[in-house]
Structure 1
């Protein structure tokens, strides 16, 4: 049985024509997210890359904040930060750490790939749920990197890397709040967003 539209809900448009589209309301009344400025995106990536050279990274369970920031921008600005960016910065970290060439590059690229694959799902949720969804991505990419390292080097480095992956994912809501801050300020000061 086909239902006819309710004539009471029909409104007249600008030119006196009836329109059902004028009665539609958006699902989310919040303004659309504005794109991050490219200078801000690359400044954060380069700044965190420089911070990653500090000796606190020698502590085995230390979170990998460069990987976190690259994954964040792969989710929110995939046109600017992509798997190629993750691979290049992974190689930079391999050279800096004097480890096996490609070990960090593999982990960074796998995390970027997982983030891009899950992007449509992740953008529907808040930062905490995003972190829960990304937990297997971070753990499995680091596990793949560690297994290849153990196979090539002939030694198992232990399970401390698991703490690093967990701490990195735990920092996802903090990174989300900090890196979205400029866009939220723009939305609050924009007179057309109300």
Structure 2
């Protein structure tokens, strides 16, 4: 009777449960790699191609990816600081880009629990309103303080930035995924 009871218990034990996600668990990214990518995106953002109104905001994209995936290392303070650096570089209203960067980072952190369950394309769809709203608030503040509307190029910029989300997600998290695949093969 004990053998029947132990056999039945072994069949229903928690050890037989499979994980929900069959992919290996992700390792944290290297802080050196995180800050290297942010500084590289910042240096690329200093180039004159950003003067074209619909240009995607690569620094904002990189900060949002890291705020979503590594919120303990990249957060609102990082977003605010790099937004201020771009405000100074562009000679625009001090705090405009800092505000939009902080809002996007806050949206990524706020939605992180939900977004981690989805692939990069669905994440981009979920983050589209966050990017558009943050950039719209910046443009409304600029229009109000400068007395004129700059046009709708910012909306195309938000759409292009979100369209690059799957590519940025793949490139920035590639070292992490490669390590996971190698670990899974050695078991």
TM-score (norm 1): 0.90
How many equivalent pairs are there? 183
Q: Who is 1:167 aligned against?
A: 160
Structure 1 residue 143 corresponds to structure 2 residue 136: yes
| Greater helix share, structure number | 2
Indicate conservation of the 8 Å contact 1:187/1:193, yes or no.
no
Superposition pairs for residues 35-184 of structure 1, below 5 Å? 35-184=28-177
Q: Tell me, which stretches of 5 or more residues in structure 2 are unaligned? A: none
TM-score (norm 2): 0.93
CA RMSD of aligned residues (A): 1.7
Report deviation, 1:9. 4.0
Q: Who is 2:17 aligned against?
A: 24
Compared with structure 1, are the counterparts of its residues 88 and 56 closer, same or farther at alpha carbon in structure 2 (3 Å cutoff)? same
Supply the distance in 2 between the matched residues of 1:85 and 1:145 (Cα, whole angstroms): 18
Runs of 4+ in 1 over 3 A off after TM superposition: 6-9, 191-194
Greater Rg by CA? 1
1:78-124 CA-to-partner distances (Å, cap 9, x unmatched) read 00000000000000000000000001001000000111110000000
Give 3-state SS (helix, strand or coil) of 1:10's partner: helix
Supply the distance in 2 between the matched residues of 1:148 and 1:102 (Cα, whole angstroms): 10
Indicate conservation of the 8 Å contact 2:24/2:184, yes or no.
no
Which is further off, 87-96 or 177-186? 177-186
1:15-41 CA-to-partner distances (Å, cap 9, x unmatched) read xxxx72222221122210111000000
